[in-house]
């Protein structure tokens, strides 16, 4: 089809009907909003529109900066809950809500979308894409990522991407499904946790899932009106014998060795995509080589393009424009799937159209987005995998030891990154980026390499090809929030935090930075110096980023209460870096959307106190150590670990702590849940292929862990 012609037609059809906003009143709930309003890129890019929050990062710049200053450093102390909405989900909360014409839209567990009145918190409608029925009911062992980080709006519709690979268009007015399409087959091990990005009549989407099977990653663009596929771009080259799709793949193939295509290569774009309207390009990050270990993936070395890169494609055609590889030859799970923020900077007296980016690898990049040249890249956290980024050669200087050729090597940052998906924000008035940071290291080994037995990743099973044990960093806190000046590449302030995995940020012209924390505190910091100027105890951990909007002359700040994302799975087991210590016991605490305003009057019910799981001691169950050892293998390979945690110590977010559950004590009950799918509705898959022996071994493993257990399994992460 002729894409450019379609684009022009759509732009001509644009109608803006903002006027009806004025007629809204508190008493009219469903008729207040003008649902026919045709959201365009012009509106999404309008920085002065503070009534709405129209896109993931507010505007296409992804800055998460609001010019609102009704709430500011001076009066933020008076911020109180204005309304709350109880979200009936039990697990991960990770998304950014949208606000359009006085209605808030959010996406929750298993991709259920809810519309709520943005003034009162009253629910208007709900749309359920029936993800559990689509996948888990068909006995697919899809586990792990039942959460989504957001949704998009364009025209008069909302768009979501589902866990199982569907793109769905629904009306903003009443959540009625308009069309849906698949971006990968339902039985693929791929998954989607990112939002589908709407821009210029197109929907851009990537995926995750490389770590549970051999895959070749790709990104795809669809038409917003019809769902028709417009273009697809693979992130890594396929088998040369099949020919290459384009010149970019031919170029990339020169950076691979061996028979990489047998392992898929990987290359997911699971998060971080930015539409740069000025240069008509879509810029996105990639990561997740398949498997992690380059010695298996590409045995004779090589940079392995386009893994761990920032890539710019022509937004209309999907044609390659430029790339920056942030981790050549990635062997450390250094995704570049972290925010890519557009910022106009003045560097050495020159105006620069920049993209700023703080990926997992610990370097803060300032990229000239007109051509992909790295203008500067400096360490924003401790990093030993690379000595420095050589600007002249435009590549990292990487010591050979970083590839751990001689066995174990302690590498930092860890595979969770110096920064993960938690939103970085950028305040253009202060010229500062706010980065939720982490300080962890990892002992990497070739434990999973095993080339003698011809390593093969298996669909729906962990296949990283490495041993990876997470460590704290001596003398460093687990996490921090820092303000970073991209022009000087200097840290302006840093607030230490006694936990990793703090939430995403929002910054405002009121000189504020808002951030939720895994311990349940929602705080406002003075953006100029990091001083805590307000805090609220939500009684449950927070991972999602806050948003702000102004209706009827009142600025509000909204945030989803509830922890979410990979780290909450507790891959670390019990100990100093696990998530279980927060006590967010599965099923105990209420997930919520809370909206705050100055002198807000809502009475939010108190949460139950945190409660760390207490294993059931039942010595009538005689643990057979041999069966328990076999069960440990089933537990790890079949991904029980992904929700119930390493060593059966649950982080409390994705699933219950099995040591404290009576179900494994009862053979019949255990069978009905694990093999027959009794808890499908909760997101627990049906493992119909497990044998009686597997199930029995699993029970022995879980009971062994309940009684003090064996050593915890090695860590693994998104």
DSSP string, 16-28: --GGGGGG--SS-
Shortest CA distance to 118 belongs to which of 680, 668, 691, 556? 556
Stretch that binds Ca ion, among 145-153, 286-294, 450-458, 647-655 (CB under 5 A): 286-294
Tell me if 288 contacts Ca ion by CB under 5 A: yes
Marked catalytic residue, from 89, 101, 333, 694: 333
Q: How far is the CB of 330 from Ca ion (least distance, A)?
A: 10
Cβ proximity to Ca ion: between 3 and 338 the closer is 338
Report yes or no: 379 and 413 within 8 Å, Cβ to Cβ: no
Cβ proximity to Ca ion: between 134 and 333 the closer is 333
Cβ proximity to Ca ion: between 288 and 361 the closer is 288
Q: How far is the CB of 601 from Ca ion (least distance, A)?
A: 44
CA dist list (Å): 580 to 473, 575, 612, 650: 20, 9, 7, 6
Size of the site for Ca ion (CB under 5 A): 3
Shortest CA distance to 429 belongs to which of 83, 132, 68? 68
Stretch that binds Ca ion, among 60-68, 86-94, 287-295, 303-311 (CB under 5 A): 287-295
Report yes or no: 45 and 60 within 8 Å, Cβ to Cβ: yes
Cβ proximity to Ca ion: between 255 and 288 the closer is 288
| Residues of this chain, 255-274, that bind Ca ion according to CB under 5 A | none
Residues 6 or more apart whose Cβ sits within 8 Å of residue 130? none
Evaluate the omega torsion of the peptide bond into residue 676 and state whether it is cis, within 30 degrees of 0. no
Report yes or no: 267 and 286 within 8 Å, Cβ to Cβ: yes
Q: How far is the CB of 271 from Ca ion (least distance, A)?
A: 11
| Residues of this chain, 488-507, that bind Ca ion according to CB under 5 A | none
Cβ proximity to Ca ion: between 325 and 590 the closer is 325
Q: Reduce the DSSP state of residue 664 to 3 states and report it.
A: helix
Report yes or no: 175 and 125 within 8 Å, Cβ to Cβ: yes
Cβ proximity to Ca ion: between 288 and 489 the closer is 288
| Residues of this chain, 689-718, that bind Ca ion according to CB under 5 A | 718
Q: How far is the CB of 211 from Ca ion (least distance, A)?
A: 6
Q: How far is the CB of 716 from Ca ion (least distance, A)?
A: 9
Stretch that binds Ca ion, among 227-235, 285-293, 477-485, 606-614 (CB under 5 A): 285-293
| Residues of this chain, 580-609, that bind Ca ion according to CB under 5 A | none
**Angle, helices 625-637/692-706, rounded to nearest 10 degrees:** 100
Cβ proximity to Ca ion: between 415 and 670 the closer is 415
Shortest CA distance to 53 belongs to which of 106, 98, 114, 94? 98
Stretch that binds Ca ion, among 217-225, 271-279, 327-335, 350-358 (CB under 5 A): 327-335
Q: Reduce the DSSP state of residue 594 to 3 states and report it.
A: strand
Cβ proximity to Ca ion: between 89 and 333 the closer is 333
**Per-residue binder mask for Ca ion (CB under 5 A), 328-347, x = binder:** -----x--------------
Q: How far is the CB of 609 from Ca ion (least distance, A)?
A: 34
CA dist list (Å): 507 to 365, 432, 529, 576, 685: 20, 10, 13, 31, 39
The CB-based long-range contact list for 690-695 (8 Å cut-off, 24+ gap) reads 690/634, 690/638, 693/630, 694/631, 694/634, 695/667, 695/670, 695/671
| Residues of this chain, 372-401, that bind Ca ion according to CB under 5 A | none
* 101 a catalytic residue: no
Shortest CA distance to 494 belongs to which of 538, 433, 553? 433
**191, exposed or middle or buried, with CB in 10 Å at 0-12, 13-18, 19+?**
buried
Q: How far is the CB of 248 from Ca ion (least distance, A)?
A: 23
Cβ proximity to Ca ion: between 305 and 466 the closer is 466
Report yes or no: 127 and 173 within 8 Å, Cβ to Cβ: no
Q: How far is the CB of 289 from Ca ion (least distance, A)?
A: 9
**Per-residue binder mask for Ca ion (CB under 5 A), 446-475, x = binder:** ------------------------------
Stretch that binds Ca ion, among 51-59, 101-109, 212-220, 284-292 (CB under 5 A): 284-292
**Angle, helices 692-706/667-674, rounded to nearest 10 degrees:** 110
Beta-bridge mates of residue 494:
482
**27, exposed or middle or buried, with CB in 10 Å at 0-12, 13-18, 19+?**
exposed
Q: How far is the CB of 287 from Ca ion (least distance, A)?
A: 6
| Residues of this chain, 143-182, that bind Ca ion according to CB under 5 A | none
Shortest CA distance to 304 belongs to which of 332, 327, 337? 327
Strand arrangement of the beta sheet that strand 157-161 belongs to? 152-154, 157-161, 166-171, 177-182
Q: Residues 466-503, buried b or exposed e (16+ Cβ, 10 A)?
A: bbbbbbbbeebbbbbbbbbebbebebbbbbebebbbbb
Cβ proximity to Ca ion: between 44 and 442 the closer is 442
Stretch that binds Ca ion, among 116-124, 283-291, 499-507, 600-608 (CB under 5 A): 283-291
Q: How far is CA 51 from the centre of its chain?
A: 26
Cβ proximity to Ca ion: between 66 and 304 the closer is 304
Residue nearest to Ca ion (CB): 333
CA dist list (Å): 703 to 67, 104, 580, 652: 55, 45, 18, 18
Stretch that binds Ca ion, among 325-333, 355-363, 613-621, 689-697 (CB under 5 A): 325-333
Q: How far is the CB of 383 from Ca ion (least distance, A)?
A: 17
Cα separation, 650 vs 160, whole angstroms: 29
Stretch that binds Ca ion, among 175-183, 213-221, 251-259, 282-290 (CB under 5 A): 282-290
Cβ-based neighbour number of residue 298 at 10 Å: 23
Q: How far is the CB of 335 from Ca ion (least distance, A)?
A: 6
Active site residues: 333
List interacting residues with Ca ion (CB under 5 A): 288, 333, 718
């Amino acid at each position: 089809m002729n894409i450019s012609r379609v684009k022009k037609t759509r732009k001509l059809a644009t109608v803006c009907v903002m006027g009806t906003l004025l007629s809204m009143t508190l008493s009219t709930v469903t008729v207040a909003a003008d649902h026919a309003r045709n959201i365009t890129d012009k509106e999404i890019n309008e920085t002065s529109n503070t009534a709405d929050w129209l896109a993931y990062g507010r505007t296409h710049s992804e800055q998460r900066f609001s010019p609102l200053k009704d709430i500011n450093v001076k009066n933020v102390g008076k911020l109180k809950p204005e309304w709350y909405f109880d979200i009936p989900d039990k697990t991960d909360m990770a998304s950014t809500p949208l606000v359009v014409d006085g209605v808030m839209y959010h996406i929750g567990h298993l991709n259920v979308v809810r519309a709520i009145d943005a003034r009162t918190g009253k629910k208007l409608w709900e749309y359920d894409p029936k993800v559990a029925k689509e996948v888990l009911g068909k006995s697919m062992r899809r586990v792990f990522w039942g959460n989504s980080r957001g949704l998009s709006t364009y025209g008069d519709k909302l768009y979501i991407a589902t866990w199982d690979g569907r793109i769905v268009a629904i009306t903003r007015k009443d959540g009625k499904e308009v069309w849906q399409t698949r971006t990968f087959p339902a039985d693929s091990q791929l998954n989607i946790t990112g939002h589908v990005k709407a821009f210029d009549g197109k929907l851009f989407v990537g995926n995750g899932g490389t770590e549970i099977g051999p895959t070749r990653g790709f990104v795809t663009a669809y038409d917003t009106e019809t769902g028709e596929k417009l273009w697809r771009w693979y992130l890594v080259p396929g088998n040369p014998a099949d020919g290459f799709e384009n010149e970019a793949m031919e170029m990339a193939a020169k950076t691979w060795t061996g028979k990489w295509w047998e392992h898929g290569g990987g290359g997911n774009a699971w998060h971080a995509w930015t539409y740069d309207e000025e240069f008509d390009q879509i810029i996105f990050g990639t990561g997740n080589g398949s498997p992690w270990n380059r010695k298996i993936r590409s045995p004779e070395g090589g940079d392995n393009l386009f893994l761990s890169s920032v890539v710019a494609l022509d937004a209309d055609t999907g044609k390659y424009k430029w790339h920056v590889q942030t981790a050549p030859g990635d062997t450390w799970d250094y995704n570049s799937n972290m925010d890519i923020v557009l910022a106009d900077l003045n560097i050495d007296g020159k105006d620069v159209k920049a993209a700023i980016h703080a990926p997992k690898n610990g370097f803060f990049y300032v990229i000239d987005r007109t051509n992909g040249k790295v203008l500067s890249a400096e360490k924003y956290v401790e990093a030993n995998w690379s000595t420095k980024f050589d600007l002249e050669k435009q590549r990292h200087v990487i010591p050979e030891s970083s590839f751990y050729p001689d066995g174990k090597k302690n590498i930092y940052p860890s595979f969770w990154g110096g920064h993960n998906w938690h939103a970085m924000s950028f305040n253009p008035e202060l010229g500062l980026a706010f980065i939720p940071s982490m300080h962890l290291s990892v002992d990497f080994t070739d434990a999973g390499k095993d080339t003698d037995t011809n390593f093969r990743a298996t669909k729906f099973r962990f296949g990283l090809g490495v041993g990876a044990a997470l460590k704290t960093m001596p003398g460093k806190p687990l996490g921090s929030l820092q303000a970073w000046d991209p022009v000087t590449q200097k840290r302006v302030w840093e607030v230490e935090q006694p936990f990793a995995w703090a939430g995403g940020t929002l910054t405002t012209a009121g000189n504020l930075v808002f951030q939720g924390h895994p311990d349940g505190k929602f705080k406002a910091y003075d953006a100029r110096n990091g001083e805590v100027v307000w805090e609220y105890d939500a009684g449950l951990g927070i991972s999602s980023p806050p948003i702000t909007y102004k209706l009827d002359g009142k600025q509000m700040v909204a945030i989803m209460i509830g922890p979410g994302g990979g780290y909450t799975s507790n891959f670390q087991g019990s100990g100093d870096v696990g998530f279980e210590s927060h006590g967010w016991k599965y099923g105990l605490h209420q997930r919520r959307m809370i909206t705050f305003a100055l002198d807000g009057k809502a009475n939010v019910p108190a949460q139950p106190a945190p409660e760390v799981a207490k294993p059931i001691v039942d010595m009538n169950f005689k643990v057979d150590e041999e069966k328990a050892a076999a069960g440990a293998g089933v537990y790890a390979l079949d991904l029980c670990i992904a929700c119930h945690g390493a060593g059966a110590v649950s982080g409390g977010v994705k699933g219950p702590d099995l040591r404290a559950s009576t179900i494994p004590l009862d053979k019949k009950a255990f069978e009905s849940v694990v093999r027959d799918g009794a808890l499908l509705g909760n997101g627990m898959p049906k493992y119909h292929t497990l044998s009686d022996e597997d199930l029995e071994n699993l029970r022995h493993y879980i009971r062994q862990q309940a009684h003090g257990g064996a050593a915890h399994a090695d860590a693994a992460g998104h």
